[in-house]
């Protein structure tokens, strides 16, 4: 029986900052961001958006009367959690009108946890093929003003349904993992922005890739040559290019620009416009690949590398299903990205300076969110989610 991804959709905030604007403010050459790190824009959340509204907006197109009661598990992956106790997915379950005979849980391991969710979901479906699992990965990446990480901020959420006989992607059982206790990137509970040793984090990322790949090979995985396309965790798109060149060298392969573009290029488009979306980033890259590769990928095998600082890496593979293009949500995704509102530097600085009220008072936020759901306010330490216009 084949198990994997049946449907997938993503969402980012309705506002963005061009990195050229950030470069101008920071006195940097815009090409450092555009070419050096490979980013054009970054998503900036409105005051009435958070990981729950991003996630619910990403998942909404996937839910219908046919699958509402079949989804028996919701796995919410994030590293920008809003609560130490309650899983953010419980809000999403209500907002989407999912059945109440459903388990909901939140998973954390930096940018990696959506892949843990995927592997767990495949296990659940293999054991009971009638069930469907909804996975949502949602994050807001913040490093702070005037830090080297500032240009690699962003926000976004991805949602996908895992089921038997999937229409998009059949996930292979072979995988390779690597974990090591390192301090390359972390965020203590008392901080709103991440701490990062930037250069070290890129070195550890590549080490985790090599070791995960080795473990994937030992597990009987496909060879480099058998994989047609590759998707990587994308803290910034240049990282994906560095990773792919490294993997090619590890396998004694040469990687010229044309081959690099063919094997990973289509998967970079959306992330270049959104910035880092942490746990969602690999899977937004996957959507980008499926929706923008000019070739028909039916029957082709793709390799995926998931990385979460701290660190856990996993390399796994999947086969694109015949007819996958029929279920593409490309038009809606492009429309969402193209209708976002451009911010100037002051607008970005004002939104990124905003922190959630912590006093337990009654706070309501102006309606700025562009999606279907918004965070209307926080009252008595409780978040109030509504539909836009409600």
The CB density around residue 35, as the number of other CB atoms within 10 Å, is 11
Active-site residue, selected from the candidate residues 79, 150, 241, 314: 79
Q: How do beta strands 312-320 and 341-342 pair?
A: unpaired
Nearest CB to ligand CAA, comparing residues 57 and 201: 201
CA distances for 274 relative to 13, 151, 280, 284, angstroms = 9, 11, 11, 10
The CB density around residue 263, as the number of other CB atoms within 10 Å, is 21
Kindly state the smallest distance separating residue 239's Cβ from ligand CAA, in Å.
Answer: 5
Nearest CB to ligand CAA, comparing residues 102 and 195: 195
Active-site residue, selected from the candidate residues 49, 106, 111, 241: 111
Nearest CB to ligand CAA, comparing residues 280 and 369: 280
d(CA 114, CA 108): 8
Torsion (CA) 284, 288, 290, 295 in degrees, nearest 10: -160
Nearest CB to ligand CAA, comparing residues 22 and 297: 22
Nearest CB to ligand CAA, comparing residues 32 and 354: 32
d(CA 163, CA 318): 14
Instruction: Retrieve residue 231's tokens.
Output: 């998707």
| DSSP string of 103-146, one letter each residue | EEEEE-BTBTHHHHHHHHHHHHHHHSTT-EEEEEEEEEE---TT
Active-site residue, selected from the candidate residues 233, 244, 269, 333: 233
Contact 158, 57 (CB under 8 A): no
Kindly state the smallest distance separating residue 245's Cβ from ligand CAA, in Å.
Answer: 10
End-to-end CA distance of the chain: 44
Kindly state the smallest distance separating residue 69's Cβ from ligand CAA, in Å.
Answer: 36
Kindly state the smallest distance separating residue 210's Cβ from ligand CAA, in Å.
Answer: 14
Q: How deeply is 65 buried, as exposed, middle or buried, from its count of CB atoms within 10 A (0-12, 13-18, 19+)?
A: exposed
- Map residue 192 onto helix, strand or coil: coil
Q: Residues in the site for ligand CAA, rule: CB under 6 A?
A: 29, 31-32, 35-37, 111, 148-149, 151-152, 184-185, 196, 198-199, 201-202, 205, 233, 235-236, 239, 276, 278, 307, 309
Look up 269 and say whether it is catalytic. Answer: no
Nearest CB to ligand CAA, comparing residues 16 and 307: 307
Residues 6+ apart with CB under 8 A from 179: 311, 312, 313
Contact 135, 75 (CB under 8 A): yes
d(CA 218, CA 254): 23
Nearest CB to ligand CAA, comparing residues 124 and 280: 280
Kindly state the smallest distance separating residue 148's Cβ from ligand CAA, in Å.
Answer: 4
Residues 6+ apart with CB under 8 A from 127: none
d(CA 241, CA 245): 6
H-helix or E-strand spanning residue 296: none
Kindly state the smallest distance separating residue 74's Cβ from ligand CAA, in Å.
Answer: 24
The label of the residue with tokens 């490294």 reads 246
Nearest CB to ligand CAA, comparing residues 32 and 94: 32
Look up 155 and say whether it is catalytic. Answer: no
Kindly state the smallest distance separating residue 57's Cβ from ligand CAA, in Å.
Answer: 22
Look up 79 and say whether it is catalytic. Answer: yes
Sign of CA dihedral 290, 295, 297, 298: positive
Kindly state the smallest distance separating residue 145's Cβ from ligand CAA, in Å.
Answer: 13
In the bound state, the residue with its beta carbon closest to ligand CAA is 36
Catalytic residues: 79, 111, 233
């Amino acid at each position: 029986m084949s198990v994997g991804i049946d449907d997938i959709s993503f969402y980012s905030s309705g506002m963005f900052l061009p990195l050229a604007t950030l470069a101008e403010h920071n006195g940097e050459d815009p090409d450092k961001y555009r070419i050096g790190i490979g980013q054009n824009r970054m998503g900036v959340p409105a005051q009435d958006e958070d990981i729950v509204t991003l996630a619910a907006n990403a998942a909404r197109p996937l839910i219908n009367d046919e699958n509402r009661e079949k989804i028996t598990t919701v796995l919410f992956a994030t590293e920008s959690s809003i609560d130490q106790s309650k899983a953010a997915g419980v809000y999403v379950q209500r907002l989407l009108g999912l059945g109440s005979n459903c388990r909901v849980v939140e998973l954390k391991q930096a940018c990696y946890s959506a892949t843990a969710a995927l592997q767990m979901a495949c296990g659940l479906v293999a054991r009971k093929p009638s069930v469907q699992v909804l996975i949502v990965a949602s994050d807001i990446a913040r490093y702070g003003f005037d830090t080297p990480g500032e240009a690699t901020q962003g926000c976004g959420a991805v949602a996908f349904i895992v089921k038997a006989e999937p229409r998009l992607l059949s996930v292979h059982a072979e995988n390779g993992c690597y974990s090591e206790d390192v301090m390359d990137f972390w965020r203590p509970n008392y901080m709103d922005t991440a701490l990062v040793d930037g250069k070290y984090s890129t070195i550890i990322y590549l080490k985790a890739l090599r070791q995960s790949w080795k473990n994937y090979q030992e597990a009987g995985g496909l060879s480099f040559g058998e994989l047609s396309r590759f998707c990587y965790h994308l803290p910034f798109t240049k990282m994906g290019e560095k990773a792919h060149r490294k993997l090619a060298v590890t396998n004694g392969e040469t990687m010229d620009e044309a081959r690099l573009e063919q094997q990973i290029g289509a998967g970079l488009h959306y992330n270049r416009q959104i910035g880092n979306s942490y746990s969602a980033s690999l899977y937004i890259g996957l959507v980008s690949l499926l929706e923008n590769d000019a070739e028909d990928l039916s029957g082709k095998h793709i390799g995926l590398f998931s990385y979460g600082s701290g660190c856990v890496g996993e390399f796994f593979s999947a086969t694109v299903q015949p007819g996958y293009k029929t279920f593409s949500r490309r038009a809606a995704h492009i429309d969402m990205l193209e209708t976002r509102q451009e911010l100037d530097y002051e607008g970005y600085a004002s939104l990124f300076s905003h922190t959630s009220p912590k006093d337990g008072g009654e706070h309501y936020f102006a309606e700025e969110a562009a999606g279907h759901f918004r965070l209307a306010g926080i009252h008595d330490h409780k978040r109030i989610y509504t539909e836009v216009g409600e």
